[in-house]
Structure 1
Amino acid sequence: MSIAKTDDGVNLHYEITGSGTPIIFVHEFAGDMRSWEGQVRHFGRWYSCVTFNARGYPPSDVPADPNMYSQARAVEDVIAVMDHAGIDRAHIVGLSMGGFAVLHLGLSYPDRAMSLCVAGAGYGAEPGRKTLFQKESETTAAFLSANSMEAFAAKYSVGPARLPFKASDPRGFAEFQQQLAEHSALGLANTQLGVQRLRPSLYDLKDDLSKLTVPTLILNGDVDTSCLEPGLMLKAAIPSAALSVVPNCGHTINLEAADEFNRIVGEFIVQAESGRWPVRRSTNRSDTITGMVL
């Protein structure tokens, strides 16, 4: 395991598996680098797979100050790992919190991304739900501060969008739940307060998204209802975006539907590398229903 030091002095632990074109995997709030094992075992056959633990997730450092956590900092941390590993450009894949980081990286550092896979991203982004999401982030942080990680894992892991995972793969779900219980309560609380609570709504980024031309895949499970509408918005806003929805699947797409996730992402990466991934032109849009003017 290697260590990348950020410009604000935080040590981030990362691993590289395989060789070839690099793929960076950015984990969700309830996961860590271990969450990508199914992807590393698959893509490590042909690519150089990079996984890392975000700040707040041991063995990466856990800053005590919540002000050291933010959406912008999450992007800079991905760049720090890439720089330390000597990676100029990579395919970048993120789930949920990691998906937000990947999308923001594409906006801030488009020259560093060969492609962007934004999976399960949308919580709190819907118009009119930002205040509720912020309150829930504060409640989650308070619960983490007052209870054990075991109690938090037992409660947080059974949200509606995670129940399909529990139903379809009880053993895999139990492993996910156990790994969540091993996280740092301080790190998760600060991540909720600094990253989740304060990140901008995706809907406020439409103008910036309309200029994004990096090949982009929006990937959601159809049971993950909080991400479906934002996913459609992202598809419409980003000229280089395609949308894929996995049936009967919840939030943890890469775990509960690993084979399908790997297939979709693998085909996307091949198309992005071929240089034939399409970018929609404004002429592709029409004010008519059929697109035909008689």
Structure 2
Amino acid sequence: MPRITTKDGIALHVEEVGEGTPILFIHEFGGNHESWEPQLRFFSRRYRCITYAARGYPPSDVPRDLESYGQTIAADDAVAVLDALGIDKAHVVGLSMGGFCALHFGLRTPGRALSLTIAGAGYGCEKEFEEYFRGVSREVADKFEQLGSVAFAPIYGSGASRVQFQNKDPLGWQEFVERLGTHDSLGAAMTMRGVQARRPSFWDLEEELKRMTVPSLVVVGDEDDHCLQPGLYLKRTLPACGLSIFPKTGHTLNLEEPAAFNALLAEFFAQAEHGAWKLRDPRALPGQVMKTT
């Protein structure tokens, strides 16, 4: 599989399968490019599916400089992958850290996105929890360096929004933890400090979000508490946004509920490609309960 090089000289590992309209999958912090296997198997039957390991995630390069990591850098890396593969536009699908990346991809380069799927995104956005999130992100970074990925993976993987996956699919959860244990400890720490702990809240991007008209789908698990309010906020702010909430579901949406996730995206892609996923009707006034005149 190819390795592509970003503007700042970082090599990224890229994998692709299938033919047709491109879909770019962007992984979460706790996963890597292999986390999208259920989606690649399903969508590669009729789409060209691309996934890649973010910087800091082997076999991609692991920069040692903190300033080589950041939210805008991550979004530009996604564009660099499409550029290297000669792809003009793609459906962009991201989970958690990848969901933030997909959103910023749409804000920075809206002309390159056929659609945006923003799944499980919102950690650190709620203003009342913003400083707590930044602090705990730095603690997680320290733990990866102090304990190493193998030792810390089961701890991180047992978080409040991960136990749903463990309860539903113990084997799938164990594979998730084992994959997390292969992460480069330095890369994980740098990603936490440089991307997670420094990214802006959705509320800080309101004016930009209001102007971004790319067809967008926000997906949230109903037990992924710190993504629920941010998901509602995106629904109310993005002009062409739909919102889906999965019942009794946590953070790892695409692995926890792969069949529901794939079916939802398939319908969304079809509507977006046919121009049926439109801007919200101006008559759908948020403040109106019933019309009387």
Once residues 189 and 37 of structure 1 are traced to their aligned partners in structure 2, the CA distance between those partners, rounded to angstroms, is 25
What does residue 53 of structure 1 align with?
53
User: How far off is 1:282 after superposition?
Assistant: 3.7
What does residue 118 of structure 1 align with?
118
Once residues 110 and 219 of structure 1 are traced to their aligned partners in structure 2, the CA distance between those partners, rounded to angstroms, is 20
Change (3 A) 1:147 1:280: same
Q: Residue deviations 1:271-293, cap 9 Å, x none? A: 00011112014443254332x24
What does residue 108 of structure 2 align with?
108
What does residue 249 of structure 1 align with?
249
The SS at the match of 2:279 is coil
What does residue 277 of structure 1 align with?
277
TM-score, structure 2 normalization: 0.98
Once residues 148 and 215 of structure 2 are traced to their aligned partners in structure 1, the CA distance between those partners, rounded to angstroms, is 41
Once residues 171 and 154 of structure 2 are traced to their aligned partners in structure 1, the CA distance between those partners, rounded to angstroms, is 15
| 8 Å CA contact retained: 1:161, 1:224 | yes
The SS at the match of 2:194 is helix
Once residues 10 and 287 of structure 2 are traced to their aligned partners in structure 1, the CA distance between those partners, rounded to angstroms, is 50
Q: Is the aligned partner of 1:66 residue 2:71? A: no
Once residues 155 and 75 of structure 2 are traced to their aligned partners in structure 1, the CA distance between those partners, rounded to angstroms, is 29
Once residues 91 and 49 of structure 1 are traced to their aligned partners in structure 2, the CA distance between those partners, rounded to angstroms, is 10
What is the letter of the counterpart of residue 152 of structure 1?
Answer: F
Once residues 281 and 271 of structure 1 are traced to their aligned partners in structure 2, the CA distance between those partners, rounded to angstroms, is 16
Once residues 253 and 286 of structure 2 are traced to their aligned partners in structure 1, the CA distance between those partners, rounded to angstroms, is 33
User: How far off is 1:76 after superposition?
Assistant: 0.5
User: How far off is 1:66 after superposition?
Assistant: 1.1
| 8 Å CA contact retained: 1:90, 1:113 | yes
Runs of 4+ in 1 over 6 A off after TM superposition: none
Equivalent residue pairs, number? 293
What is the letter of the counterpart of residue 165 of structure 2?
Answer: F
Once residues 265 and 238 of structure 2 are traced to their aligned partners in structure 1, the CA distance between those partners, rounded to angstroms, is 18
What does residue 178 of structure 2 align with?
178
The SS at the match of 1:116 is strand
Once residues 230 and 287 of structure 2 are traced to their aligned partners in structure 1, the CA distance between those partners, rounded to angstroms, is 22
Q: Residue deviations 1:127-174, cap 9 Å, x none? A: 221111110111111111111211110110000100010000011111
The SS at the match of 2:217 is strand
| 8 Å CA contact retained: 1:215, 1:241 | yes
What does residue 92 of structure 1 align with?
92
What does residue 155 of structure 1 align with?
155
Change (3 A) 1:286 1:77: closer
Once residues 239 and 223 of structure 1 are traced to their aligned partners in structure 2, the CA distance between those partners, rounded to angstroms, is 26
Once residues 261 and 52 of structure 2 are traced to their aligned partners in structure 1, the CA distance between those partners, rounded to angstroms, is 20
What does residue 135 of structure 2 align with?
135
Q: Residue deviations 1:165-188, cap 9 Å, x none? A: 000001111111001000100000
What does residue 208 of structure 2 align with?
208
- CA RMSD across the alignment: 0.9
In structure 2, the gaps of 5 or more residues are none
Change (3 A) 1:173 1:279: same
The SS at the match of 1:159 is coil
Once residues 206 and 77 of structure 2 are traced to their aligned partners in structure 1, the CA distance between those partners, rounded to angstroms, is 24
Q: Residue deviations 1:210-247, cap 9 Å, x none? A: 11111100001111111111100000001100000111
Q: Is the aligned partner of 1:12 residue 2:17? A: no
Once residues 31 and 201 of structure 1 are traced to their aligned partners in structure 2, the CA distance between those partners, rounded to angstroms, is 22
Once residues 282 and 289 of structure 2 are traced to their aligned partners in structure 1, the CA distance between those partners, rounded to angstroms, is 16
Once residues 288 and 240 of structure 1 are traced to their aligned partners in structure 2, the CA distance between those partners, rounded to angstroms, is 19
Once residues 146 and 45 of structure 1 are traced to their aligned partners in structure 2, the CA distance between those partners, rounded to angstroms, is 43
What is the letter of the counterpart of residue 59 of structure 1?
Answer: P
The SS at the match of 2:214 is coil
Once residues 77 and 127 of structure 1 are traced to their aligned partners in structure 2, the CA distance between those partners, rounded to angstroms, is 28
In structure 1, the gaps of 5 or more residues are none
What does residue 218 of structure 1 align with?
218
The SS at the match of 1:64 is coil
| 8 Å CA contact retained: 1:239, 1:281 | no
Q: Is the aligned partner of 1:258 residue 2:236? A: no
Q: Residue deviations 1:37-77, cap 9 Å, x none? A: 00000000000000100000000000001110000000010
The SS at the match of 1:284 is coil
User: How far off is 1:84 after superposition?
Assistant: 0.4
